[in-house]
Structure 1
Amino acid sequence: MGPVLLLLVVAVFLSLAMTGAWLAVSRGAKSGWVDATWSFAIGAAGIAAALVPVEGWEGDWQRRIIVATAAGLWSLRLGLHIVSRTMKGGEDPRYAALKREWGGQWRRQMFYFLQMQAAAALLLTCTIFLAARNPMPGLQWSDLAGIVVLAIAVAGEGIADAQLSRFKQRDANAGKVCDAGLWGLSRHPNYFFQWLGWTGYALIAIGPYGGWAWGWAALVGPAFMYWLLVHVSGIPPLEEHMKRSRGEAYEAYARRVSAFWPFPKQREVST
C-alpha cells in the first residue's frame, strides 16, 4: 500500500466516524459524544498510520510501535475521560452555543462542522504518520525526547482533568472558579498538555539531525493544534461561557492567570 492510499482510507474512516457522531447528536445524544468519537477516531487512525505497511515508508519497527502505542494511550485516556464526563454532565456549553447560533439549521451546520473536524483529525494523523515513518535506523535521542514529552503531556492532561473533576464534585465549589493545582498556572492546562503531546510527535519525526525533509512537515500538527485550541474551538467559546456563568469571579481569575501557557500565578494588583 502506498502512503496516499493509506491516508485516503484513513480520511474515509474519519469522515464516517464523525458522520456517526452527527447521527447520534441529531437524534438527541449529548454533544459530548462528538469529542469522544473524535478522540477515539484519531487514536485508531494514528495506530493504523503507524503500523500499516507502506511501500517506501517502512521506518524503524521499534519507532513505529512506540508511536502507535503513544497514539493509542493518549486517545484511550482522553476518550474515556470525555465519555465519563458526558455521562455524568449535561450538554457541552460550546456545542449548545453553536446550536443557538445556527437555529433551525443546526443539524445541517453540525454535519459540515463535524466533517471539518474529520479533516482536522486527518491532518493530525499525518503528524503521527511522519513520526512513525522516520527512516533513521534504531532509536535515537530524539525518539527518547519525544517519548518524554508525550509522557509528560498525557500525565499532565490527566492530572488537570482529575483536579477539575474533584473540584466540581465538592458542593461547596458550586458556582466557583477552579484555580487549584495546575489550574492556578493556566486557565486551560488540559489544552496546553494536549498541544504539548503533538510537539512530541514532531520531535520524533524530525529526528536527531533534521536530515529527513518530510520530518519537518510534522510541525504542522502542533502548529494546527495550537491555532485550533487557542483561537478557534477550544479557549474562545469556553471562555465566553465561563464569563457568562461565573461573571466577575472569572474575570478576576483571567487577570491573575495565563489563558494557555502555564505561567506562575501572579498577584492581582489592587486599584
Structure 2
Amino acid sequence: MRIGVDLGGTKIEAIALDRGGAILARLRIPAPRGDYGATLDACVGLITACEAETGRQGSIGIGTPGAISPFTGRMRNANSVWLNDQALDRDLAERLGRPVRIANDADCFTLSEATDGAGRGANSVFGVIIGTGTGGGLVIGGRLLTGPNAIAGEWGHNPLPWPQPDERPGPPCYCGKCGCIETFVSGPGLAADHAAHTGRALSPPEIQAAAARGEPSAIQSLARHAERLARGLAGVINIIDPEVIVLGGGLSNLPHLYDDLPALIRSHLFCDGIATRILPPVHGDSSGVRGAAWLWG
C-alpha cells in the first residue's frame, strides 16, 4: 500500500492506494495554518488513520508547496511559510519511525498523470500548473526528474520568450525578478492583464464567463493569455521535446486552451510540426495527493 499526503495551505489530504492505483482510503482535514508542530501532528494523524482504516501499513510520500533544499536539507519556497527552513522529511520520519519521501506539489501532479493519468504510456511527460502560481514537473521513463538543484520543471521563473515591446520589462515577480512567465500566465497574471487593459478587476472565472457572453475585451484577454502561454510552452518543447504536456491548476479548466495551444506553439518551434500532445489531467485536483503516493514507485 502507498500513502500520499498533499500538504496544502488550507487543507491536508491523505490517500491510500493499492498497487494498481485503486483508492483504499481517503481523508481530508483543514490545515493548521501557521503552526509547524500542529502540521506534523496532522500529517501523522492522517497517516495513522489511513492505516487503521485499511488494516495495512504503507510507504509514505508527501507533496508540499515548496521543496527540500539539497544544500540545507530544509524546506524552501513554500507559500505555507511556516514550513520554510524546517527539516520536514526528517521530522516526519522521526515521528513515524520510517522513511518519508517529499516532493514539490507540481512534481507530484506530474508523476500522478504520468503514472496512470493523461500521460500514461508516454516516455516523457511535462506537467504544468497554471493556477495561483506557475509550476512544473518532468517525468522521464516513469521516473520523476528533480535535478541536482531540485528545480527541474521550474519553467515559470524564466523570462517570457520573445517578449513584445509592451511586455518589457514585465511585471515584478515575488522571486525578485521582472517578466517571469508566471507573472503573465498564472491566474493573478491573467487577472492583472485584464485589469490593465480594461480597468475592470475580474477573476479568471469571471473573465471566462464574460468571454462566453461575447464580451470583446474578455475574449482579447484570453487570447493574449493563450498566446503567452504558448510562447512559454514552446520554450519547454524546444529544450525537452516531451511527448505529452498535461495542464493542471485552475486555468487548466479553460477549454479553449486545448484547441488553440498547438497551433500557437507551433509557430515558435524549431521544427516543421508539433507532435507533443497538450492534454487535460485525468485525476484533476486529486493528482497531487496521488502523485505523493506514487513517489515510492
TM-score (norm 2): 0.27
Q: Which has the higher helix share?
A: 1
Q: Which has the higher strand share?
A: 2
